[in-house]
Structure 1
Amino acid sequence: MKKKELKDIYFRLLKYLKPYIKYFILALFFMCLVSAIMVAIPWTLKVLIDSALIKKDAFILNILALSMIGLYVIKGILSFCQNYLMIYITNNVISDIREQFFSHMQLMPLEFFKRHSTGELMSRLTNDTFILQQVFSTGLVSLVLDTLTLIGVVCFIFYIDWKLTMATIFILPLAFLAVQKFGRRLKSVSYRIQERSADVFAVLQEILSSIKIVHGFATYEKESERFKKINRESVKAVLKAGRLNSIYTPVMELLGAMGIAAVFWYGGYRVINGHMTIGDLMAFIGYIGIITTPVRRMGSNLGNIQQAMAAAHRIFSVLDIEPSIKDKEDAIEIKEIKGMIEFDNVWFKYPDDEEYILKGLSFKIMPGQVFAIVGPSGAGKTTIIDLIMRFYDPQSGSVKIDGYDVRDLSMRSLRRHLGLVPQDVILFNTTISENISYGKSDATTEDIIWAAKISNAHDFIDKMEKGYDTILGERGVRFSGGERQRISIARAVIKNPKIFLLDEATSNLDASSESQFQEALKRVLKGRTTIIVAHRLSTIIFADKILYLENGKIVEEGTHSELMNKENGKYRMLFELQTKENMFASL
């Protein structure tokens, strides 16, 4: 990172501190008092030797002993206050960053999640924020205390004997040079550690989410080697940082020893010549003992802060990404719709792709009509649903709902009127009831049961011990594909939307369930606009109109009977082929 980038990150982090600035100022005040007590303690050693021991004054000795106890009691109370305040501030700041990061991710278009793996984003949300939390709750306190202590100690040793101080202080430039050099190296290494850590998260998440495939293909050794390789890269980065820290500590200790040796030698001469008292020398040595710890620890803290800056940079790099799909400033909040859908000369290709998926696509669906879209894989069927949902925007042309370009509508109000059943069923690790009512927070028990019955899901749910309170498990793994699909359908039905979008919605239903679902679907879709993307043509015979899509263009359209009357028609050929396959499968 460049100096300007580093400066920007510091200022951005300070903005998160603004709501807690009163607490931070109070914590700094306590830190100043703690530092003052730490600096005052060696001075008592001078008083002890010069005023109590040499002069044999028992009263001063008693006062010093009681004062020492009192100082440490006060220091303990102040340390508790400062530490608790910094923990409170840091945890709230990190919580704010995590919540902003999570909210920002939810606004990102689907393309963002294709470019950034789930594991990488999880690493930034958890691991990187944890590093920030650790550094700013403890490392920042230590750095501030050490800086204040260093300033106080330098002032005191100059007061005691400026000549001895000047003879000793030649070590400081060497120490700060070492701090600067190691800090610069640690900054680049720290960023590399975070990158490798994110790679480990990404690979781990991918393997665990695909564990069924791993078991099915018995590729345990292959995946173990893959994980081992990326994990070793992470270990190498950590070991490099460890080597730097391991070198840094003895270097700083050597520089400290050189300073203490200079104090013993030159300070001893000044005592012998009568320029200093024994108490002055012992206090001076005490201060040098104090100063070596902050200098040594300061380098370590600076290294940790560099690591925190690398973590913050990774977090802000995501927060700085502007969503490519977002509401206009004057976006229309559409409250009611009739359900008319129109594609007007739509051209669309996915980002980074050269070839268009949809090529000048135009069609109109009137309110209440059931449209089916069929065709080979890659023809653009699911893309049509994605554009209606406004997961993507077309490069040219327009997608309209009731005459409104969807780009002019607020996404929240648009999607409130759309009921989506995607091809890949995604369920949450909560109850069946909460999954069905996901898109309708005010749904009653009656609403949930009605939606389940319409979707032919009620019977298998009702047979379970806990019924609608049954936990689905992660991604609904405890249920069959057909059961998960029916719960997903119920989740769309309960919204009672004007437009239904069914993307291979019956793909996991058996023949019996499919027949029952078709009958239920005909009832619930009455008066509602519906688009059904289907592979099995037997499921869309009842559609008002069927579009056969190929290479992003409509090559055939009409009702089932109209398309079946087309000799050598693509739809007819596909339907007859599937009919023969079903006949052979039933033998």
Structure 2
Amino acid sequence: MKGIRRALQYLRKYSLSALGAFLSLLVVNAANLYTPQLLRQVIDDGITSMNMGRIWALAGLLVAVAALRGVFNFLQGYLSEVTSQGIAYELRNAIFDRLQRLSFSYHDQSQTGKLMTRMTSDVELVRMFVGNGLLQLVSAVLLLVGTLVILFSMNALLTGIFLLMIPPILVVFFLFVRGIMPLSKSVQQKLGELNAVLQENLAGIRVVKAFAREDYEQQRFGVRNSEYLGENLKLIRLFSSSFPLIFFIANLGVVGVVWVGGGQVIREMMSLGELVAFVGYQGFFLMPVFMLGFIGSAMSRAEASAQRLFEVMDAELEVKNKPGAQALAAIQGKVSFEGVSFRYAGSEQDVISDISFEAQPNQTVAILGRTGSGKSTIINLIPRFYDVTQGRVCIDGVDVREVTLESLRSQIGIVLQETTLFSGTLRENIAYGRPEASLEEVEEAARAAQVEDFVRELPEGYDTLIGERGVGLSGGQKQRVAIARALLVNPRILIMDDSTSSVDSETEYKIQRALEQLRQGRTTFVIAQRISTVRNADLILLLDQGQLIAQGTHKELMDCCEIYAELLATQFGDQAELEAALEEAVR
């Protein structure tokens, strides 16, 4: 139970509420153990003796014990829930914090739906056991021991007869607990797979409808749902076959006690009240035995979930601050790659190999190449989304692995190929990197990115809610918002990964005109789909199959590199003439 032992660390912060719940449970158990003795006295001292006064007194005492038990039952339940909810709070925070710090490579290989299952269902199962089930386990053991002591003190013969039923009950329990652990883990895995399909479907619902694939998606979800149902039914069958058998064996023990005990009452070897109390204690003995069965089930499921949680928490941080890493001072923007090679985790082949170049401050660097040539990999290595396999990436002569991630990335503005916006207002999305920015600063960045053109049409301007993932905006509008978001942080290095691919030529022309001024004092890396970007770049990097095969200006490469000319003709075609016409029209 390594997972549960680790989860218990989160109990320390809530030790007072846990202690209060435990003490309350002790009082409840004491009241439970005292109740059969009161019933014995009611029968022997009141009913048998026809003593009404004694009956009233004992009845009042029973009411007082019941009230006391009720109060402490409430305290035990409330404090247990406070403890368990606190543990769930800490676990959710811990795993979410870990997810924020895990490298791109981890998220590349993980499904969002499965991670969400760990954040919700797995946390809940661990919470229920560590915050409440563990307390019930201790209570069951104490109640079991206390009841057994009282039973032996009352009648050793009847206790021996009753205990004959315990070995077969324990055998059934052992088989039950042994079977439920793998089943519980399988159920959680199937739930994760089900949630993964659900998350992918909801995220891509427009694609589903566009291609009329609703029936296919329904079938895909139905398969996962059936698998999840099947595993749950296995779990239910295990419960349904185990506990009726346990109750049957336990009832045989009760029958044996009543048979022998009844004979002792007739022979006046024990009183009727003692027999009733003994049968009552039998119930108290069986109750924790049954509780142990359910607790064993909860413990197995919690252990399976805890293991899944700690798999995430123990995942290696492939990109992290080195011990003693220093903050990166204000940079000028010189970027150099020195013999850089990189391969993704688990891959046997380099994505890029032996790349070397140098970008000077204020330069615009265009990266060209066919699909899969390594363009995005190069720009991902600059802010250390991944670490190089060989060589080094330097900014102003400093290896990026020697400085803190925060100080590095805070000086880099990034517009990723896949535009991601968050639910909230337009202003909040533009100011995501600088939430303290004033409205004037937000508007300035928006004007530079040509966002103002469509802000006027929005009902509440910059305070308009744009919906989940920016669903209320077009692709081009979202990309312009992403550009404004990057510009607002006033970066010394600006990275644009195909950031105008959803913008029409005229809008891109306006953006490029605005960016010409914004690039002053910045080193800009662009993966472009427009010939104008390539033509105006200070340095062009030409990649092919992970190799840097040429670098230089547009004119230099046109004069000496046939592959460059071929690539321009293949990727851009007659775009140059089209953009020239648009430029003339705008003028």
- Paired residue for 1:573, among 519, 542, 566? 566
Corresponding residue for residue 238 of structure 2:
244
Of 501-510 and 548-557, deviating more is 548-557
Corresponding residue for residue 434 of structure 2:
440
Residues 542 and 549, structure 2, Cα contact 8 Å, conserved in 1: yes
CA distance in 1, matches of 2:53, 2:218: 73
- Give the superposition deviation at 1:539: 2.4
Residues 531 and 576, structure 2, Cα contact 8 Å, conserved in 1: no
CA distance in 1, matches of 2:181, 2:541: 58
- Give the superposition deviation at 1:78: 0.4
**What letter matches 2:419 in structure 1?**
V
Q: What are the superposed Cα offsets for residues 386-420 of structure 1, whole Å, 9 maximum, x if unpaired?
A: 11010111111110011111111111100000000
Of 555-564 and 310-319, deviating more is 555-564
Aligned pairs (5 A) from 1:483-498? 483-498=477-492
Residues 350 and 357, structure 1, Cα contact 8 Å, conserved in 2: yes
For structure 2, the 5+ residue unaligned runs are 583-587
Residues 470 and 478, structure 2, Cα contact 8 Å, conserved in 1: yes
Q: Let me know the Cα RMSD of the aligned residues.
A: 1.8
The answer to whether 1:37 aligns with 2:34 is no
- Give the superposition deviation at 1:538: 2.3
Residues 375 and 535, structure 1, Cα contact 8 Å, conserved in 2: no
Residues 187 and 231, structure 2, Cα contact 8 Å, conserved in 1: yes
Corresponding residue for residue 3 of structure 1:
none
Corresponding residue for residue 319 of structure 1:
313
Where 1:15 maps in the other structure, the secondary structure is: helix
Corresponding residue for residue 104 of structure 1:
98
Identity of aligned residues (%): 34
- Give the superposition deviation at 1:274: 2.3
The answer to whether 1:134 aligns with 2:128 is yes
CA distance in 2, matches of 1:540, 1:447: 30
- Count of residue pairs brought into register by the alignment: 580
Corresponding residue for residue 351 of structure 1:
345
Where 1:541 maps in the other structure, the secondary structure is: helix
Of 224-233 and 447-456, deviating more is 224-233
Corresponding residue for residue 585 of structure 2:
none
CA distance in 1, matches of 2:143, 2:244: 22
Residues 466 and 473, structure 2, Cα contact 8 Å, conserved in 1: yes
Residues 38 and 149, structure 1, Cα contact 8 Å, conserved in 2: no
Where 2:574 maps in the other structure, the secondary structure is: helix
* TM-score, reference length from structure 2: 0.96
**What letter matches 2:267 in structure 1?**
N
Corresponding residue for residue 427 of structure 1:
421
The answer to whether 1:507 aligns with 2:528 is no
Of 112-121 and 145-154, deviating more is 145-154
Corresponding residue for residue 455 of structure 2:
461
* TM-score, reference length from structure 1: 0.96
Of 317-326 and 444-453, deviating more is 317-326
Corresponding residue for residue 323 of structure 2:
329
Q: What are the superposed Cα offsets for residues 85-135 of structure 1, whole Å, 9 maximum, x if unpaired?
A: 111111111110110100111111111012211111111011111222334
Of 67-76 and 219-228, deviating more is 219-228
- Give the superposition deviation at 1:337: 0.7
- Give the superposition deviation at 1:69: 1.0
- Paired residue for 2:265, among 261, 271, 274? 271
The answer to whether 1:338 aligns with 2:336 is no
**What letter matches 1:408 in structure 2?**
E
Of 242-251 and 169-178, deviating more is 169-178
Aligned pairs (5 A) from 1:59-70? 59-70=53-64
Residues 84 and 132, structure 2, Cα contact 8 Å, conserved in 1: no
Q: What are the superposed Cα offsets for residues 339-391 of structure 1, whole Å, 9 maximum, x if unpaired?
A: 11000011112222222121211000111111111111111111110110101
Corresponding residue for residue 192 of structure 1:
186
Where 1:312 maps in the other structure, the secondary structure is: helix
CA distance in 2, matches of 1:197, 1:575: 49
Aligned pairs (5 A) from 1:8-87? 8-87=2-81
- Paired residue for 2:544, among 550, 557, 568? 550
**What letter matches 2:302 in structure 1?**
A
Residues 532 and 576, structure 2, Cα contact 8 Å, conserved in 1: no
CA distance in 2, matches of 1:574, 1:197: 47
Corresponding residue for residue 114 of structure 2:
120
The answer to whether 1:525 aligns with 2:519 is yes
Residues 31 and 144, structure 1, Cα contact 8 Å, conserved in 2: no
Residues 8 and 130, structure 2, Cα contact 8 Å, conserved in 1: no
Corresponding residue for residue 478 of structure 1:
472
Of 29-38 and 223-232, deviating more is 223-232
Residues 183 and 299, structure 1, Cα contact 8 Å, conserved in 2: yes
Residues 245 and 300, structure 1, Cα contact 8 Å, conserved in 2: no
- Give the superposition deviation at 1:583: 6.0
Where 2:542 maps in the other structure, the secondary structure is: strand
CA distance in 1, matches of 2:27, 2:215: 59
CA distance in 2, matches of 1:138, 1:228: 35
The answer to whether 1:398 aligns with 2:381 is no
The answer to whether 1:164 aligns with 2:158 is yes
- Give the superposition deviation at 1:584: 8.8
- Give the superposition deviation at 1:43: 1.1
**What letter matches 2:414 in structure 1?**
L
CA distance in 2, matches of 1:356, 1:143: 54
Q: What are the superposed Cα offsets for residues 197-241 of structure 1, whole Å, 9 maximum, x if unpaired?
A: 111111111122122221122122222111111111111110001
The answer to whether 1:292 aligns with 2:295 is no
Corresponding residue for residue 94 of structure 1:
88
Residues 36 and 152, structure 1, Cα contact 8 Å, conserved in 2: no
The answer to whether 1:374 aligns with 2:368 is yes
- Give the superposition deviation at 1:456: 0.3
- Give the superposition deviation at 1:141: 4.4
- Give the superposition deviation at 1:22: 2.1
The answer to whether 1:227 aligns with 2:217 is no
Where 1:565 maps in the other structure, the secondary structure is: helix
CA distance in 2, matches of 1:303, 1:184: 9
Residues 141 and 288, structure 2, Cα contact 8 Å, conserved in 1: yes
Residues 367 and 540, structure 2, Cα contact 8 Å, conserved in 1: yes
- Give the superposition deviation at 1:575: 3.0
Corresponding residue for residue 281 of structure 1:
275
Of 217-226 and 341-350, deviating more is 217-226
CA distance in 1, matches of 2:481, 2:469: 12
CA distance in 2, matches of 1:30, 1:399: 61
- Paired residue for 2:147, among 135, 153, 159? 153
CA distance in 2, matches of 1:332, 1:140: 45
Q: What are the superposed Cα offsets for residues 151-200 of structure 1, whole Å, 9 maximum, x if unpaired?
A: 22212221211121112111122222221221111111111111111111
Residues 4 and 306, structure 2, Cα contact 8 Å, conserved in 1: no
**What letter matches 2:574 in structure 1?**
K
**What letter matches 1:573 in structure 2?**
E
Where 2:536 maps in the other structure, the secondary structure is: coil
Q: Aligned pair in 2 of structure 1 residues 180, 102: CA closer, same or farther (>3 Å)?
A: same
Of 125-134 and 244-253, deviating more is 125-134
CA distance in 1, matches of 2:400, 2:575: 40
**What letter matches 1:348 in structure 2?**
F
- Paired residue for 1:389, among 359, 383, 388? 383
Corresponding residue for residue 534 of structure 1:
528
CA distance in 2, matches of 1:565, 1:12: 65
- Give the superposition deviation at 1:47: 0.3
CA distance in 2, matches of 1:457, 1:70: 73
**What letter matches 1:571 in structure 2?**
Y
